[in-house]
Structure 1
Amino acid sequence: MTGLILLLATGCSDGPAADGGPRAAGTSTTARQATAQQRSLLYDAEQELQRRCMKAAGFRFWAVPEDPLPEARDFPYVIDDPKWAKRYGYGSVFEARVKRLRAEDPNQVYLRGLPDDRRRAAIAALNGTRREGLRAELPGGAVIGHSATGCRAKAWRTLYGDLSAWYTASTLVNNLSALTQQRVTAHPDFTRASEKWSSCMRAHGLRYRNPAQARTEFLGHGGGRDTDREVRVAVQEARCARSSGLSSVAQRLERRLGRELRQEHRAEVDRVERLRADALPRARTLLAR
Structure 2
Amino acid sequence: MRRAFSRRPGRIGRRRLTTTALAGTALLLAVTGYVSAGAPAGEGGAAAPAGTVATTAAGRSLLHDAEQELQRRCMTAAGFRYWAKPEDPLPEARDFPYVVDDAQWAGRYGYGSVLEPRVEALRRQDPNRVYLGGLSLERRHAAVTALNGTTDGQGLRAELPGGAVVGHNGNGCRVTAWRALYGDAADWYAANTLVSNLGGIRRQRVAAEPEFAAAVRAWSACMREHGFPYRTPREARDAFLGGKSAPDRAREVRVAVREAQCTHDSGLAAVAQRLDHHHDRELRREYRTAVERVERLRAAALPRARAVLGR
What interval of TM-score do these two structures reach, taking the shorter chain for normalisation? Answer: over 0.9
| Worse overlay, 258-267 or 173-182 | 173-182
* 1:218–1:230 contact (8 Å) kept in structure 2: yes
Of 117, 142, 153, 1:96 maps to 117
Q: Distance in 2 between matches of 1:69 and 1:150?
A: 28
The yes-or-no answer on 1:69 pairing with 2:87 is no
| Cα gap change, 1:4 to 1:46, in 2 (>3 Å) | farther
* Offset, 1:222: 3.8
Question: What SS is found at the alignment partner of 1:73?
Answer: coil
CA contact (8 A) 1:8 1:64 kept: no
Count of matched residue pairs: 280
2: CA distance between counterparts of 1:107 and 1:37?
A: 26
Q: TM-score when scaled to structure 2?
A: 0.86
Structure 2 residue ranges without an equivalent (≥5): 8-24, 31-41
Whether 1:248 aligns to 2:270 is: yes
How many angstroms does 1:22 deviate by?
3.8
2:191 alignment partner, one of 169, 179, 200: 169
Equivalent residues of 1:159, 1:279 under 8 A apart: yes
Q: Does 1:178 align with 2:196?
A: no
Report the CA distance shift for 1:192/1:96 in structure 2 as closer, same or farther (over 3 A): same
CA distance in 1, matches of 2:105, 2:164: 36
1:157-184, Cα deviation, whole Å (9 max, x unpaired): 1100011110000011111112111111
Partners of 1:9 and 1:64 within 8 A in 2: no
Q: Which range is displaced more, 246-255 or 215-224?
A: 215-224
Give 1:154 shift.
Answer: 0.6
Is the Cα–Cα contact under 8 Å of residues 4 and 95 in structure 1 kept in the other structure? Answer: no
Instruction: Find out whether 1:159 has 2:181 as its counterpart.
Output: yes
Shift of 1:223: 3.7
Q: Please give the secondary structure, in 2, of the residue aligned with 1:167.
A: helix
Cα-to-partner distance string for 1:91-121 (whole Å, 9 max, x where unaligned): 0111111111111000000000000000000
* Residue 56 of structure 1, CA deviation: 0.3
Helix, strand or coil: the match of 1:145?
strand
Amino acid at match of 1:50: Q
**Pairing of 1:93-172 with structure 2 (within 5 A):** 93-130=114-151, 133-172=155-194
4+ runs of 1 displaced by more than 4 Å?
none
Residues 160, 275 of structure 1: 8 Å contact kept? yes
Rate the CA distance shift 1:95–1:3 in 2: closer, same or farther, 3 A. farther
Amino acid across the alignment from 2:90:
L
Q: Is the 8 A contact 1:11 1:123 kept in 2?
A: no
- What is the rounded CA distance, in whole Å, between the counterparts of 2:305 and 2:244 in structure 1? 41
Q: CA deviation at 1:4?
A: 9.4
Give the drift of 1:144: 1.6
1:120-158 deviations in whole A, cap 9, x for unaligned?
000000001128611111112222211110000110011
Mark the CA change 1:160 to 1:272 in structure 2 (over 3 Å): closer, same or farther. same
More deviation, 135-144/68-77: 135-144
Question: Retained in 1: the 8 A contact 2:45–2:57?
Answer: no
The CA distance in 2 between the partners of 1:68 and 1:3, in whole Å, is 19
What code does the residue aligned with 2:296 have?
R
Contact 1:20 1:36 in 2 (8 A): no
**Identity percentage over the alignment?**
60
Q: Name the CA shift for 1:3/1:112 in 2 (closer, same or farther; >3 Å).
A: farther
Question: Is the counterpart of residue 284 in structure 1 residue 306 in structure 2?
Answer: yes
Secondary structure at 1:21's aligned position in 2?
coil
Q: Which position in structure 1 is the counterpart of 2:4?
A: 2
Per-residue CA shift, 1:22-71, capped at 9, x if unaligned?
424xx524431110000000000000000000000000000011000111
Q: TM-score, normalised by structure 1?
A: 0.92
Residue 9 of structure 1: CA displacement? 5.8
Q: Is the 8 A contact 1:2 1:91 kept in 2?
A: yes
Give the counterpart letter for 1:137 in structure 2: E
Output the aligned Cα RMSD: 1.9
Q: In structure 2, what is the equivalent of residue 21 of structure 1?
A: 44
Q: Does 1:197 align with 2:219?
A: yes
SS in 2 for 1:252: helix
Describe the SS at the equivalent of 2:306. Answer: helix
